[in-house]
Structure formats: C-alpha cells, structure tokens
Amino acid sequence: MKKITILILLIISFLTRVNAQEQLNKKQLADNLFERYEYFKSVSIYLELAGKNGSRYYAVERVADCYRLMNDYEKAELWYQKAIAFTEAAAIDHYYYAEVLLRNKKFTEAREQYKIYYAAENSDQLPFKLATCDTAEKWIRSPKNGFTVTNEQKYNSKYSDWGLTNTGKSSYVFTSDRITNTKKKDVYNRTGDGYFNLYQTSGDIVIPLELNTKNNPIFDNNYHIGPMAFSASGDTAYITITTTVPAKKLPLDSKSENSTQRLYTRRLQLVMATKINGQWAGFKNFPFNNLKEYSVGNAALSKNGDVIYFTSDMPGGEGKTDIWYCIKQSNGDWEAPVNCGKNINTKEDESFPNISGDNTLYFSSKGLPGMGGLDIFKAKGQKASWSKPVNLRFPVNSTSDDFYFITSDSLTGYFSSNREGGKGNDDIYSFGYKPPPPALKIAGKPTKPVFIPAPQPATALLTLKKGEGIILNKIYYDLNKSNIRPDAARELNKLAAVLKQRPSIRIEVGSHTDSRAPSKYNLELSNRRAAAAVDYLVRHGVARYRLVAKGYGDTQLLNQCVKGEYCTEADHQINRRTEIHILSE
C-alpha cells in the first residue's frame, strides 16, 4: 500500500553527505537510497548487484524488500523465494515471504513459512497468523451474502487513488499520486510516481482540487496532501499533509549502526481549512500536532461535528498507530486527545476512521482478526466506549489492504483497496449491500412457525394443530442469562392461560440463541432458557408432564446471521426466541 497515511510516513532527506555520490561504491549508494526509503531508485542498483542469477544474498534480500515496500507483490514473492534458498537467509525473510504469499492467496505455502519463522522466534503470534490464513481462505470460498463490489474506473488511474470522501454536497474529493501537467510533477523516489494530492469529481470528470496556500506559513504543496474530511455543512475541512516545516526545525533521527547519513523525519500533521470565496484557504494547525514527536492525520467528524476522530502514534496508545478523539468545547476549541480504547485499538496499526450516518465507526486494523493486511471493521458506540468490532469480510475485505470505508446508510458507499485486479495500485471501489430476506422455514421442523405480532390474545393457540407452532417474540433474555424477565413473564402468562383452557395439549418449549459465542455454549444456554420457561409455566399451574424443554442453540437460525456474518442487533434478536410446538392433544 503506497499511501502516506498509515502513520508514520517517513520522507527522509540528506542533511550532509560524507562523500559525493560519485565517490560511493554501488552498494553504499544503494544502501543510502534504501535508508532514505527511496526504493524506486535503489532497487535497480540492487538488481545489478544481485547478478543475473541472483547469486549474492544481501542484494537478493534487498531486491525482495524493495519490491514488497513498493507493493509489487508478485516480484517480491519471486525474490523472497530466492532469498530463503541461501544458507545464510535470515528468519525475517521467511516472515516477509509468508506475508506476500498470504497476499497472493497461496495459503498453504504461507502457513509453512510462518511456521518456519515463528519456530526461530520467541513469539506467541503463530496461531494468529495461521488463523488469518484459514479465515481468508474460508471467506473467499464463501463470500458474504448481499454484497456487490465494483471498481470505480471513472475515478481510478494507473497510479494510486484512494480516500474518496463526500464533500457534503453532490461531489467527492479523493487522494491520488497521479502525475499530471500541473505544477506538482516531481517524482517521489519511494514509488517512482508523483506526490499525493487532492482531486475532486464533477460528475464523471476528475480535476485537481485547488488549495489557496499562497503566503500561508503552514504548508506550500511541496509534499503529500490528503486525505480530506468535511464538516456536515461542507464549509470546514480537515486535511492530512506531510509537513513542510523547514528542515532546520525538525529533530534529527537516531542513526542506525552503520549509517553515514544524518536524516530527519517529515511527519504527518492535520490542518484545518475554511472555504473563502469558493476556495479552500485560511489554513490553521490542529492544536495537537507535534511534529517533533509523532504524527496526526486521517480525521473524521461525528454527525453533529462535536467529536473529531483521528489516527496518531502519540504516546499513551495501545500500539503502533491508534484511533483517538477530541471533544469540541463550547467556545469551539478541541479538548485534549483521548484514546478510543482497547476494543478498537491493538498493538498493531489502526487507522482511517469514518463515521456513518447512524454514527457507526468504520476503521481499518492490522491487529484484529481478519484476512491479512488492513481489514475494514465496524463498531457501534462513541468516544472510548465501543462494541466488539465486526469484520466486514470478503468481498469488502481481501488479503490486501482495505481501508477508508464511507457510507451514509450502511447499504451503499465506497472504500479503497490495493487488491489485485485493480486499475492501479490503490483503487477506489463502490459497494452495495442488500440484506437477504429472512428464511421462514426452521430446519428440522415439519411446518414453519406462525409469527404472531405482539400483543396477541390468549386464544391465539386455539387454532393450532399438532405439528404447528408459534414464536413468542416477546420472550427475551438478557445477554448470557436465562432468568425470566418481566416482559417475558407477561407472554408466558398468556401461554399458561391457553394451556389451562386446553388441558389435553402437550407442547415443546424450544429456546434458541443467535450465532454469537461458541455453539457448545449456545446449546447449553438455550437449554437453560427453555428449562426456565417450563419452570415458570409449572409455577403457574401447568402440569410438568405436559411440557418438554428443548434447547436448539444456534442450529436453527431464521435469517442469514451465521457465525462471522455482519448483522444488526435487530437481526440477531430475531434468532433469540422461544417457540411453542404442539406435540399431541
């Protein structure tokens, strides 16, 4: 993934050189370029050093590293295969080889390379990596029902295009490193393409987005710009940029053991902008930028604009990059940043937050269980209180990097991905989601149950015959509990009245759970819930011999909400039910 915003992006520059480049040998020159993240320039020298047959391990390994870091995964796979054939190959070569094999969907080979790497390392991460291979392979074989994904070729180019954002009106803005005829046509030596800049859509036409940075001390369009987030009114924006602060104001990086260069880091910063006479101008620094210590970027605003979410590697987080938030005060200033918490953030990278129309948080993570690379997740809540994140699965996610998911209604929207088959490196994709209709037939039952909307008179059972059944929708249970709540008691009271009117009826009281939690646990829970319902009826005058308690766990779902499938809480509630079936009369 070539984007700048998986924090920290380092744009490294020379401050001094020990010798002129003409005096450096080829290995020194290539290493200096590699150390400055100029992979596009260094790989050609390493290829020459590797020789026609790839006979020099150090150069072969560096060629593989360059291609991986430039996101050329097919070439990276080829060169890591060569690298691990050397007797002096490092353990890390097996790890990176496994990573590109996973990305290239060669799951069996990836598992073997992960095993080799973790056998040499003191780490407990092997099960996580093997599970990632298993999950990716399974989900690709069984795509999530209802999703359609389309490459938006009208926005994409042979370059990297990503981060499509609604401006609040009828147009979009996105980020691209395409090389155009504009004044910004310098080549970024990490990739060989241009610097990232902002583009806007007008129908199917894409044009550069003009930013009036004249005489502005904050930035001058010399480095990467994007993505851009908008307020609901569309007149305020938050733009992620690579800082253009003069080099003399940036601290030097610590040197590696063999480095002869003095280097500094250009971190990300967030700038606020307002629209003045139709142009974006009036740029101001986000108050919590700290270019000497950490990066801040990738902003997203809550629906009412009172909370801003962003990505940062600032101290106090859970991992490499985390999602943070600030609350807007009554005077318009932002309060100090607060971490979104351990439900969202892991020891790996979390980034690209976006808030949907119903205040659902969508974000990308490398640390939560998924398919490899960045996966897109969703969670309900706000600030530092969130539900367990749900993976959106294939085809939204893939073994590549999937990120920057935007939607207003959870049914349509856009995201970005560098999956294979795209037009360029990162591409913009649209999605549509049409939930499958709920299945009415219950597996293993002779007839489908009759749904009775609440409230229902107690005589509703009088028309049922043997083998037929009803679902008592109001018999709900608290999470992980089986006690009878007051709302459930009212429904069971109606049932008890019917059973007293028809004393010859024998019934089955069947309880069901949703698909969340292990199936063994769900079966035990449903048995306890069915037994609790039977006990309640007995206490209210129904003979126990007339009642059979039966738990079905999650084996007879009424809709598509199987394990691992994203569903709303309302969808899951449909499956948490108690059914009454007449056994005899």
Q: Give the tens place of pLDDT for each residue, 349-376.
A: 999 999 998 889 999 999 999 999 999 9
Is residue 462 over pLDDT 50?
no
Confidence of residue 533 (pLDDT cuts 50, 70, 90): confident
Among 382-386, 482-486, 506-510, the least confident range: 482-486
Task: Give the C-alpha separation, 11 to 7, whole Å.
Answer: 12
Residue found under tokens 């063994």: 520
The reported pLDDT for the residue numbered 22 is 43
The reported pLDDT for the residue numbered 438 is 53
CA angle centred on 389, ends 384 and 390, rounded to 5°: 160
Q: Phi/psi at 365 (nearest 5 deg)?
A: -145, 145
Q: What is the pLDDT of residues 137-169, one digit of tens each?
A: 999 998 877 889 999 999 999 999 999 999 877
Average pLDDT in the 308-332 region? 96
The reported pLDDT for the residue numbered 335 is 97
Task: Give the C-alpha separation, 579 to 585, whole Å.
Answer: 18
The reported pLDDT for the residue numbered 185 is 55
The reported pLDDT for the residue numbered 479 is 55
Is residue 422 over pLDDT 50?
yes
The reported pLDDT for the residue numbered 478 is 58
Burial class, 25, CB count within 10 angstroms (exposed 0-12 / middle 13-18 / buried 19+): exposed
Confidence of residue 575 (pLDDT cuts 50, 70, 90): confident
For the chain, how many residues are written? 585
Q: Phi/psi at 167 (nearest 5 deg)?
A: -75, -5
Among 57-71, 85-99, 453-467, the least confident range: 453-467
Confidence of residue 204 (pLDDT cuts 50, 70, 90): confident
The reported pLDDT for the residue numbered 1 is 59
pTM of the model: 0.73
Confidence of residue 13 (pLDDT cuts 50, 70, 90): very low
Q: In what order do the strands lie in the sheet with 225-230?
A: 225-230, 236-242, 268-276, 279-285
| Nearest-10 crossing angle of helices 519-539, 486-501 | 60
The reported pLDDT for the residue numbered 130 is 95
The reported pLDDT for the residue numbered 6 is 47
Is residue 17 over pLDDT 60?
no
Residue 560 or residue 231, greater confidence: 231
Question: To the nearest whole percent, how much of the chain has pLDDT over 70?
Answer: 86
Confidence of residue 571 (pLDDT cuts 50, 70, 90): confident
- Residues 6 or more apart whose CB falls under 8 angstroms from that of 544 comprise 534, 538
CA angle centred on 278, ends 275 and 280, rounded to 5°: 40
Average pLDDT in the 547-568 region? 83
Among 1-5, 196-200, 446-450, 504-508, the least confident range: 446-450
Task: Give the C-alpha separation, 580 to 585, whole Å.
Answer: 14
The reported pLDDT for the residue numbered 374 is 98
The reported pLDDT for the residue numbered 187 is 83
Residue 493 or residue 293, greater confidence: 293
Residue 422 or residue 477, greater confidence: 422
Is residue 9 over pLDDT 60?
no
Burial class, 575, CB count within 10 angstroms (exposed 0-12 / middle 13-18 / buried 19+): buried
Is residue 406 over pLDDT 50?
yes
Confidence of residue 15 (pLDDT cuts 50, 70, 90): very low
Among 17-21, 178-182, 210-214, 579-583, the least confident range: 17-21
The reported pLDDT for the residue numbered 475 is 65
Which of the 8 DSSP states describes residue 340?
-
Q: From start to end of 122-244, where are the E strands?
A: 147-151, 161-166, 172-176, 197-202, 205-208, 225-230, 236-242
Is residue 170 over pLDDT 80?
no
Can you list the domains of the chain with their CATH numbers?
38-141 (1.25.40.10), 147-433 (2.120.10.30), 450-584 (3.30.1330.60)
The reported pLDDT for the residue numbered 474 is 53
Is residue 491 over pLDDT 70?
yes
Helix ranges (H only) for 474-541 are 486-501, 519-539
Which of the 8 DSSP states describes residue 493?
H
Q: Rounded mean pLDDT of the chain?
A: 85
Residue 102 or residue 489, greater confidence: 102
Confidence of residue 566 (pLDDT cuts 50, 70, 90): low
Residue 580 or residue 73, greater confidence: 73
Residue 570 or residue 12, greater confidence: 570
Residue 301 or residue 473, greater confidence: 301
- Residues 6 or more apart whose CB falls under 8 angstroms from that of 549 comprise 509, 511, 527, 530, 531, 533, 534
Average pLDDT in the 68-84 region? 96
Residue 124 or residue 568, greater confidence: 124
Confidence of residue 181 (pLDDT cuts 50, 70, 90): low
Is residue 450 over pLDDT 80?
no
- Secondary structure (H, E, C), 125-148: CHHHHHHHHHHHHHHHHCCCCCEE
